[in-house]
Structure 1
Amino acid sequence: MSLTTQWDDGEHSGTGKGRVPTCSNSQPSMVFSMLDALNVEADSCVLEVGTGTGWNAALLSERVGSVNVVTVEVDAQNASAARRRLGTVGYTPTAVVGDGAEGWKPSAPYDRVLITASLREIPRAIVDQTRPGGIIVSPYATEYGGEGVVRLTVREDGSASGPFVGSSAFMRLRQQRTQRKHVREYMGGKPWPADGKRSTTGLSPDDVGDWLPMFAIGLQTTGVFPWAEQYEDGSYTLWLRDTDVTSWATVDYVPGAAEFEVYQAGPRNLWDEVRAAYHWWSSQGRPGFDRFGLTVTPDGKHYAWLDAPEHPVPTVEHTA
């Protein structure tokens, strides 16, 4: 079980919950599985992005010595508290307050990089500061949802590539957070269904709502994200919106139904795109996280693949 240690970027205080958790101690099994994927050797120089409570920095310092560990934390309050904890137990890694997406160039190059916040893009600076043959382990999330831990190996040409090693659910790196527009912004002030075009579908919204299919859908789609509006009787409306605030769709889930009502509006038919992505994943045998991988090219572009880099995951074309 994870333990939340900060809410609302430190603006919330007291014993109750805030609105959004912004720092936590990850569950031990996740911590140890990511460290296992990192494969730290005794003389490795390690960069950690996201100090948090300092737990990972302590484990890394025990393994390779504090002199070989750099840990970067954007939140000054968290960084100060972590530094005190680390010092109390005798660890003195280089602890930096700064933007983790920029890494820490003064101590580069690194043999290993551990990122403890969810990313939509692997920062170019992180790849550049990792020596060829070095390993980057990071949670990687899609815009649509779903997230997995990826293990990238950096190459001589400045690219990085590797497989996903399991699922994850981390807080987003602050520099890669997004602000969502309310659904009303998509309908121009008109009540639902506004100018949406009605159709029906045999694919249940429940089928596209689990973490793994969300991940697979997100690898294929661009700029589309879901939100579920729940009702007391167990039904719900799946809302789909695009990040350009041009298109939306709704799919109404009713328990036990065989068909579901769909409305779509805008230049993109978002439900059609999500449905196509789901059917591709299903046609491939519903692969798990461990069959997917990610490549970051020398110019910073990202593409996902299935089983091998030579088999890129297709991108669903925008439908209208």
Structure 2
Amino acid sequence: MVANNLALAFALLLFSISPPVRSLSLNYYDQTCPKAESTVTNVVQKAMMNDKTVPAALLRMQFHDCFIRGCDGSVLLNSTRKNQAEKDGPPNISLHAFYVIDVAKKQVEALCPGVVSCADILALAARDAVALSGGPTWEVPNGRKDGRISIANETSQLPAPTFNISQLQQSFSQRGLSMDDFVALSGGHTLGFAHCSSFQNRIHNFDTTQDIDPSMQQSFAANLRNTCPMHNKVNNAGANLDSTPTAFDNVYYKLLLQGKSLLTSDQALLTNIRTKALASKFASSQEEFYQAFVKSMIKMSSITGGQEVRLDCRVVN
């Protein structure tokens, strides 16, 4: 049932999304590199066996790539003496698991030299990260090209964890994404971990009259304050984004409705009638969430850019 609905969702997308998706194709590598997808899947699966944080890292990496200059693999580029790249911009300092893309690229290059873009490998890896964590799978439309420009300062365009609903709406709409997409893609926070700095504003000095965000469940906030004291000096301290951080499920939405979300941008879902209704729907139905997430992931990953197929994901040709 879910598979049929997802197939229908993609078919509808071909007619409803703006032109960039038409340059992509579900069978793009069928003739030129038929083993590309399975190769990427195997690399992601092996990496997950050694590091349970890989799925969250890959999903976040894809999001951060697509929101700057489109899904062009620019987040993968290394800084040079003359340029500081996106991966070294403040919001991306905590990105990791770049080695997974490097390994996949090396193996794909051995099969089909100069054919498969790094941007496509990242899109495939993000899909695999979700599917291998128990979430839905989908067919990824391919044909992205890799970008040659990566600028650290441009990462200031990424939606911040402290954004309110108006700021989030503006950020997503600028990229052709709706508030429905925002709610669905926020469900990616079912995987992973957030550092204290991402939610300190909610548990210390919230405003002039309250120390803690009153929308937070009290005991949940108290536990976070113990983990992240006011003058925390432990750089890697933080908390899981939901109670099942390695499983792709709808627990994120259930905890959100209980006042147990970490980020201001999470809580923002409950400050708008439509987004709150969608969050409630996804909390009640994991299948509804999966369908919406797949639709929005395909839409987001179809924001294209780039000019070449890089031979090494870390440097331009």
TM-score (norm 2): 0.28
Bigger relative contact order, structure 1 or 2 (CA pairs below 8 A, ≥6 apart): 2
Give the structure with higher Rg (CA): 1
More helix as a share of residues: 2
